[in-house]
Chain A
């Protein structure tokens, strides 16, 4: 197990290196640079800016500088938020994005799993149909449409909740819900189908034939096995939620990293793009590793030795 984890961590470093290099190359290949503004800057100004941010150096020297700084724990500087380091921007935005993501994730689990289970256990009943209808609807409504609807109903019409911002519980309710609906719908559907599949397994029928209480069968035999596909999906889903959603953060004015990253791409903020990509790569690869380890915990058949 330890060897497996160490091996995976080594791979993670290689993956991050490759990701950085591809991003770095693409960034420089894409037309438009950080100093391309609608009001053209004087050539002397562009020269001074290039010098200040090391963009006057050759391509590989710039990439070398980037790696050297990473080794020293420095993700570089932002070009658009000029007095702040990428590390400080991520550290400032991450807790907000992560809090929102984790709340949305818990919400998605709390809504998705019970609905999916209920639908499977009462297959072809009214509960099943309602569950399928709602999960289809919520899976098809884009987050920004749902977000706007929530704002119009609860802020503009009812004046119950603030339209956005960060700092109070009231401000988290709408964005967390808007963010949770899509994964909740997916989780419900996956839970339903995998539960249906597990319920038809021989070991479940055997347990039923042995007269074991239905509740015990449900928790010990069905739920545990039905959740494997859900966990597979939950890992990347959590990574996605924690890395932030530009649309939700933008709509609800949440000072998180999702919005910052997308704005960084639009503005060709090389510093912010590189720092964020590296960070995202780390989060996604890291969470995948966690999921793989979790398989072993849930499913005794999976071993890494």
Chain B
């Protein structure tokens, strides 16, 4: 009885202290240093030209754009005073002209004000053909962008004219206007991405390619770079001139350990504060009494699947593709091959993104009977009548295990023979890109959280990332309507129909939605993660992180 009373008493004291002193634990004290690891030396850290997550992780600390993403991946105004809408005259009625009012308090780390001209310079630079920026094509809806980007064969005068004709201008010091060729409902999301972060013309002109080395790497974000030891580490420190709420961390170090086992060891030796674990060790880590509680796992906006080349027999047969979809036990896959990490996928768009629909692909939940029904519909009484299937994959990591799992499942559940064909990584990518494959492992991660980035680009007839050769006039028409539909509810409804078509036609074998599985030291507080983090968990909001000493 006494024990019970004491327990209740102490519980009340703890609850009361939490209510009365809620901010106690959030006041950072002691050294505020966070060390994390990025996948390797970034190719470059020039916002206009960057494309990989490693590069993004660095850029997101040092720069920020007009708009940004909140933790729930909705948009928020950052360098702009508000998100442009039709109501606040930020977007014209036809959806083709965007006007951004800049926050006049925003400064560069050297104290200079960020102006509309910085954005004008940045966007025109994005389309500069000599820069060959990889993400430029995302912005070809901006008037004149594509023409200038493709002008490398023209003379300097013609190029200058094309550059001047790009539909972006500074109306005044703090007002930016962008004109689009077509209405683009997802344009605001694109404006929250790194390729259109502002950059400084004076610095780039003065230092050329070395402008991304400290101390010239001047940004407008919460951190600034003081050191870049190539292939070793990058040191960022709190930007003392940051216009908004300053970073809680004093130092943020980005190590470049490339070996998964070495990174795991470095974490255990307290050299890094956040780290992934080597593939295959997930279950051991979960069971570990010390490491287990340090696990952070959350859904990412990434779907993995096997794509069928629907022009290569027998994958031309829709019902065979559906049979394969129903023949795979994805729960077993995740449990045995993926260390229990990830969620089974029965459709394309992952949870956490607009357009995810748990009711799609119900026919693909594992059932050997269902698979057999589809096989019969495909015109085969027994799997042994189906010609040998050839499955290609890049021979890296756990891909061989993945391929063997599929081989075994298809044999056991459908009695179809699968030949697995490992390939060197770049050779595999080229084979897929050139559609010289029959059945291949692949994944897609969000560039921005919208079906616009997930459906037309991958399943539209002839689209750049459509390597299944899938072609549906109905799908194309739905996507074309959605692309310019300014009413968001209607737009998402159109994409929902489009996705339903893809799921029914099964140009891919949906496998799983990836989950991030990392270890975080218990003294790292305030980590805010999203499904679109770059190389490091929580790297979109490192300014909020503090260390509890």
List the interface of chain A (C-beta within 8 A of B): 30-33, 36-45, 47-49, 51-52, 80-84, 89, 92-93, 148, 151-152, 155-156, 159, 162-167, 250-253, 255, 259-260, 263, 266-268
Contacts and interface: CB of A to CB of B under 8 A. Distances in A.
Contacts of B262: 151, 163-164, 250-253
A32 B431 CA distance: 8
A252 B41 CA distance: 15
25 contacts: A32-B424, A33-B430, A36-B429, A36-B430, A40-B433, A40-B467, A41-B134, A41-B464, A42-B136, A44-B137, A44-B140, A45-B132, A51-B132, A51-B152, A93-B231, A151-B262, A155-B268, A155-B269, A162-B266, A163-B271, A253-B232, A253-B256, A253-B259, A255-B256, A266-B425
A38 B257 contact: no
B44 interface: yes
A36 B433 contact: yes
Nearest to B426: A32
Nearest to A88: B230
Contacts of B129: 48, 51
Which of A49, A82, A162 has most B Cβ within 10 Å? A82
B149 interface: yes
B200 to A, nearest CB: 16
B333 to A, nearest CB: 21
Which of A83, A92, A156, A251 has most B Cβ within 10 Å? A83
A255 B445 CA distance: 29
B150 A259 contact: no
A155 B464 CA distance: 47
Interface of A, helix, strand, loop or mixed by DSSP: loop
Contacts of B43: 80-82
Interface string B440-466: 001110000000000000000000110
Contacts of B46: 83
Nearest to B130: A52
Contacts of A148: 261, 265
Nearest to B209: A83
Which of B40, B232, B259, B428 has most A Cβ within 10 Å? B259
Interface of B: 40-41, 43-44, 46, 49, 129-134, 136-137, 140, 146, 149-150, 152, 209-210, 212, 229-233, 255-259, 261-262, 265-266, 268-271, 424-431, 433, 442-444, 464-465, 467
A165 B232 contact: yes
Given A82-B44, A251-B259, A259-B258, A164 B430 contact: no
A109 B86 CA distance: 76
Nearest to B233: A165
Nearest to A41: B134
B464 A40 contact: yes
Given A32-B430, A38-B429, A164 B257 contact: yes
Nearest to B135: A45
Which of B146, B231, B268 has most A Cβ within 10 Å? B231
Contacts of B212: 83
B261 A43 contact: no
A37 B137 CA distance: 15
A148 B257 CA distance: 14
Which of A33, A42, A155, A267 has most B Cβ within 10 Å? A42
Given A83-B46, A156-B265, A40 B465 contact: yes
Contacts of A41: 134, 137, 464
Which of B46, B134, B210, B431 has most A Cβ within 10 Å? B134
B130 A266 contact: no
Contacts of A267: 426
A250 B231 contact: no
Contacts of B152: 47-48, 51
Contacts of A251: 259, 261-262
Q: Which 7 A-B pairs have the closest CB atoms?
A: A32-B426, A255-B231, A42-B137, A48-B132, A31-B427, A32-B430, A36-B429
B150 A47 contact: yes
Given A156-B265, A255-B232, A31 B41 contact: no
A56 B530 CA distance: 40
Contact of B132 (A52, A93, A252, A266): A52
Contact of B41 (A81, A156, A163, A250): A81
B210 A163 contact: no
Contacts of B136: 42, 44-45, 48
Contacts of A151: 261-262, 265
A81 B269 CA distance: 30
Contact of A44 (B44, B146, B271): B146
Given A83-B209, A260-B231, 16 more contacts: A31-B424, A32-B426, A36-B433, A40-B433, A42-B464, A44-B150, A45-B134, A47-B150, A48-B149, A51-B129, A51-B152, A163-B257, A251-B261, A253-B256, A255-B231, A268-B426
A36 B269 CA distance: 37
A165 B443 CA distance: 32
Contacts of B266: 155, 162-164
Which of A32, A48, A51, A93 has most B Cβ within 10 Å? A48
Contacts of B232: 165-167, 253, 255
A31 B430 contact: yes
Contacts of B258: 250, 253, 259
A292 to B, nearest CB: 35
A92 B230 contact: yes
B231 to A, nearest CB: 3
A27 to B, nearest CB: 11
B269 A31 contact: no
A252 B259 CA distance: 8
A48 B136 CA distance: 11
Which of B140, B464, B467 has most A Cβ within 10 Å? B464
A29 to B, nearest CB: 11
Contacts of A43: 464
A96 to B, nearest CB: 9
B268 A255 contact: no
